């Protein structure tokens, strides 16, 4: 469960303060699927980074599963990211010199999981994204969709409760994107809390709730289904269920 | 930790050429230091061995003392010379095996139309004991009253060969400083010491030498102590005896082999360190190479660093990865350089068998430790830069 209270994130740009987040108060329940939308510069990514404990709020409080994380030490935040949070990035961020398997094992290397256990869990995670047969391949030998699925396997291999995805389909064609989204839906169905940043209504449509940001504030809260109607009306996305 | 090391090695293998070149930089440095120090150290031990062949229980007494207060003969009355009587007095001291009077002159030694300018030592029979001399042919200067100088000479093997070739010089005559001396013996070869040929000399009875060179005073008295551990005690006894005999003045200098070896050893150690230090400059260049390459690597791998932080890696772990990479590079260079250095030393020794080389085992350990330390030092800045990166900025740097 995520509780944000009056969260501000202020940068200084040439002496001018820029409020990337300007007083966000929001509550995301465990097991929710939330999409964050908004124009560029609206603070979507900053919010995701704060939620992922990669960035600290300038002011306000953030409680993750009841624990105030704004006061935590650097090492404690790293620990939290390692065990409780998974990240999926638009650019995949796979390590090019490592095989798919080694990429999935990477978080476990730094969290001190023993080797045998690492092998087993990496294989299971790759199996779950349907890429076990590609485990020896390097990222360059995989398609974009496959790469993102490897990244999802890596993000979930520590069984985090919170999965944060920043434009997960931004670099993919619609077929590969759909496959990735299906995978995320499946993880959500298994109980993970899923927060997806996107500017694609087709992606946001799958979420239970959509937060629309503008100038670092939540400008609107919609149900995912409301976007689905919009899409159909525009004749863009696939027909809804 | 082992896993981080593996991760670091994989990163290095991803840039084989670049890593190999950094390794080469350190290898050249370590090889240079290894080779140069091996030569220095080898020379030091070689020369010390040359000196110790005379034994560490030898004490030398020379006339004159630089530290003596006053100017002899001007303010302090008469100076006392170092005499054969002094040597005899010292020979009577306890724990003294022999006290050999020595005089020295340079002269042309002539025989059978050939001549050669050499050092002529005036010695007693006891000199055999001091210089560990062995006689190859005939006999050495005969024992007896050292004040009585018989007209005889003993030749070093080089001098004997130069004058008489393959013929036996025994019983033949040589002319030294106008006097005709009968050759009674030839010594065994002693070799060279610091380029001075110990075999290109002549020995004559000390009284003969004093007469030939018109000297009134000895060049040196060499005292051989019964046991090395008694040297200091005997030095004191010598000092007391001679001061007493010389009217309360310390107008002589006592040098022990041990003191001489120590001074010499220290000088050579400084030479070795200097030479090794020159080699260390190339090691420094290698270190800068690693620093550069690691600095570039951190820049290139900024997104990867952001990713590692997002995946739960602590700052310390990021530091560890980059330090490990630098240390692995340097250590590989250290091993390679050590092998190359020792190999070169071996090759040099094959080419010039006379050149002494030595790399003691603790030196090998030191070279490896130094290379690891160099890597650590070179890695600190890049690793700190990596750890200081803000994860969000780092992820965006793609």
Structure confidence at residue A229 as a pLDDT band (50, 70, 90):
low
Residue with more model confidence, B197 or A171:
A171
Residues of chain B neighbouring A103 (CB-CB closer than 8 A): none
**For the residues B43-58, what does the mean pLDDT come to?**
76
pLDDT category of residue B272 using cuts at 50, 70 and 90: confident
Q: What interface predicted TM-score (ipTM) does this complex get?
A: 0.91
Q: What is the mean pLDDT of residues B111-138?
A: 90
Measure the CA–CA gap between A85 and B34, rounded to whole angstroms: 52
Output the CATH code of domain A2-234. 3.40.50.300
Q: Which residues in chain A touch residue B313, judged by CB atoms under 8 angstroms apart?
A: 78, 82, 110
Average pLDDT of the segment spanning B364-369: 87
Average pLDDT over residues B186-206: 86
Note the pLDDT tens digit of each residue in B9-46.
999 999 999 999 999 999 999 998 888 888 888 888 77
Q: Are residues B120 and B217 in the same domain?
A: yes
Which residues on A lie below 8 Å from B395 (Cβ)?
54, 89, 93
| Phi, psi torsion values for A62, nearest 5 degrees | -130, 115
Cα-flanking dihedrals φ and ψ of residue A87, to 5°?
Answer: -115, 140
| Domain assignment of residue B29, given as a range | 2-51+262-396
pLDDT value at residue A214:
93
Give A160→chain B minimum CA distance, Å: 11
Q: Give the pLDDT band of residue B353 (cuts 50, 70, 90).
A: confident
Place of tokens 């047969």: A133
A189 burial class (0-12, 13-18, 19+ CB within 10 angstroms)? exposed
A139/A152 Cα distance (integer angstroms): 13
Tell whether B71 and B6 lie within a shared domain.
no
Which chain A residues have any C-beta within 8 angstroms of a chain B C-beta? Answer: 49, 52, 54-55, 74-75, 78-83, 87, 89, 91, 93, 95-98, 102, 106-107, 109-112, 115, 154, 158
Report pLDDT digits (tens) over A156-199: 999 999 999 999 999 999 999 999 999 999 999 999 999 999 98
Q: Based on the fold, state whether residues B242 and B109 are members of the same structural domain.
A: yes
Reported as a single tens digit per residue, the pLDDT across A76-115 is 999 999 999 999 999 999 999 999 999 999 999 999 999 9
Determine which of A136-150, B181-195, B232-246 has the lowest per-residue pLDDT on average.
B181-195
What is the layout of strands, in order, in the sheet containing A2-13?
A16-28, A2-13, A59-64, A67-68
A213-239: average pLDDT: 71
pLDDT at site B312: 94
What residues in B contact A82, CB-CB < 8 Å? 311-313
B130 touches chain A (CB under 8 A): no
Domain spans, chain A = 2-234
Whether residue B192 sits in one domain with residue B81: yes
Q: Is residue B318 part of a domain?
A: yes
What confidence category does residue B248 fall into, taking pLDDT thresholds of 50, 70 and 90? confident
B181 HSE (CA, 13 A, CB side): 29
Task: With respect to residue B255, please indicate whether it lies within any of the assigned structural domains.
Answer: no
Contacts of A74 in chain B (CB under 8 A): 314-315
Question: Among the listed ranges A27-31, A147-151, B56-60, B92-96, which one has the minimum average pLDDT value?
Answer: B56-60
What span, in angstroms and rounded, lies between the C-alpha atoms of B230 and B374?
47
Question: Percent helix, strand and coil across chain A, each rounded to 5?
Answer: 40, 25, 35
Cα torsion B33, B36, B39, B40: sign: negative
Phi/psi at A160 (5° precision): -75, 160
Looking at the fold, whether B306 and B173 belong to one and the same domain comes out as: no
Same domain for B212 and B116: yes
Which among A52, A109, A154 has the least Cβ separation from residue B7? A109
- Closest partner residue to A93 (CB to CB) among B3, B13, B395 is B395
Rounded mean pLDDT of B232-244?
Answer: 92
β-bridge partners, B135: B187
My answer on whether B140 and B267 are in the same domain is no
Q: B386 CB near a chain A CB, below 8 Å? A: no
Do B225 and B270 lie in one domain? The reply is no
- Whether B38 and B69 share a structural domain: no
| CA-based nearest distance B16→chain A, Å | 12
Kindly tell me if the per-residue pLDDT of B62 is higher than 70.
yes
Query: Which residues have a Cβ under 8 Å from the Cβ of A187 and sit 6 or more positions away?
Result: A152, A156, A163, A194
Contacts of A111 in chain B (CB under 8 A): 312
pLDDT in tens, B282-315: 889 999 999 999 999 999 999 999 999 999 999 9
Is there a single domain that holds both residue B109 and residue B229? yes
B-chain residue closest to A154, CA distance: B311
- Give the best residue of B297, B312, B394 to mutate against chain A (max A CB count within 10 A): B312
List the structure tokens of B35.
């080779």
Average pLDDT, chain B: 87
Q: What pLDDT score was predicted for residue B68?
A: 44
């Amino acid at each position: 469960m995520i509780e944000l209270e009056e969260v501000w994130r202020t940068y200084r740009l040439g002496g001018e303060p820029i409020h990337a987040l300007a007083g966000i108060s929001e509550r995301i329940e465990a097991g929710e699927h939330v999409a964050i939308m908004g124009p560029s510069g609206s603070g979507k990514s900053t919010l995701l980074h704060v939620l992922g404990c990669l960035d600290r709020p300038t002011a306000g409080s953030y409680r993750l599963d009841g624990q105030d994380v704004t006061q935590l030490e650097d090492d404690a935040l790293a620990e939290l990211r390692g065990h409780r949070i998974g990240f999926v990035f638009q650019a995949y961020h796979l390590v090019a010199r490592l095989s798919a398997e080694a990429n999935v094992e990477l978080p476990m290397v730094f969290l001190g999981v023993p080797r045998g256990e690492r092998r087993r869990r990496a294989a299971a995670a790759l199996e779950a994204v349907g890429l076990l047969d590609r485990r020896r391949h390097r990222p360059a030998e995989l398609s974009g969709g496959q790469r993102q699925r490897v990244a999802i396997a890596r993000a979930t291999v520590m069984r985090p409760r919170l999965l944060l995805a920043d434009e997960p389909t931004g670099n993919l064609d619609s077929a590969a994107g759909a496959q990735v989204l299906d995978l995320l839906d499946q993880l959500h169905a298994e109980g993970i809390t899923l927060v997806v940043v996107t500017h694609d209504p087709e992606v946001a449509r799958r979420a239970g709730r959509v937060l629309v940001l503008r100038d670092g504030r939540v400008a609107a809260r919609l149900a995912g289904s409301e976007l689905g109607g919009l899409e159909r009306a525009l004749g863009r996305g696939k027909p809804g269920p | 930790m082992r896993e981080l090391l593996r991760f670091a090695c994989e990163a290095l293998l991803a840039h084989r050429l670049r890593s190999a070149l950094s390794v080469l930089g350190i290898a050249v440095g370590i090889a240079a230091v290894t080779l140069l120090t091996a030569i220095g150290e080898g020379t030091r031990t070689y020369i010390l061995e040359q000196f110790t062949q005379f034994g560490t229980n030898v004490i030398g007494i020379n006339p004159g003392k630089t530290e003596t207060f006053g100017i002899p003969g001007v303010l302090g009355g008469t100076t006392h010379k170092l005499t054969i009587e002094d040597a005899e007095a010292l020979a009577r001291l306890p724990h003294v095996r022999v006290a050999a009077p020595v005089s020295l002159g340079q002269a042309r030694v002539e025989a059978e139309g050939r001549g050669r300018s050499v050092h002529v030592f005036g010695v007693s029979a006891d000199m055999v004991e001091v210089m560990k001399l062995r006689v190859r042919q005939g006999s050495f200067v005969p024992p007896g009253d050292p004040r009585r100088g018989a007209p005889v000479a003993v030749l070093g093997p080089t001098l004997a060969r130069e004058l008489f070739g393959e013929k036996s010089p025994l019983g033949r005559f040589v002319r030294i400083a106008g006097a005709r001396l009968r050759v009674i013996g030839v010594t065994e070869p002693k070799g060279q010491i610091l380029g001075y040929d110990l075999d290109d000399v002549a020995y004559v009875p000390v009284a003969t030498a004093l007469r030939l060179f018109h000297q009134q005073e000895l060049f040196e008295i060499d005292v051989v102590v019964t046991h090395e551990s008694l040297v200091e005690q005997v030095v004191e006894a010598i000092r007391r005896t001679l001061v007493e005999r010389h009217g309360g003045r310390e107008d002589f200098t006592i040098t022990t082999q041990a003191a001489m070896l120590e001074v010499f050893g220290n000088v050579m150690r400084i030479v070795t360190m200097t030479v090794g230090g020159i080699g260390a400059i190339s090691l420094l260049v290698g270190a800068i190479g690693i620093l550069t390459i690691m600095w570039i690597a951190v820049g290139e791998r900024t997104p990867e660093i952001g990713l590692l932080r997002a995946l739960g890696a602590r700052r310390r772990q990021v530091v560890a990865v980059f330090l490990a990479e630098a240390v692995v590079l340097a250590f590989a260079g250290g091993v390679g350089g050590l092998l190359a250095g020792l190999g070169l030393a071996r090759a040099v020794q094959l080419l010039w068998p006379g050149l002494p080389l030595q790399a003691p085992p603790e030196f090998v350990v030191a070279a490896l430790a130094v290379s690891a330390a160099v890597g650590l030092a070179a890695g600190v800045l890049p690793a700190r830069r990596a750890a200081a990166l803000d994860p969000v900025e780092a992820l965006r740097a793609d």
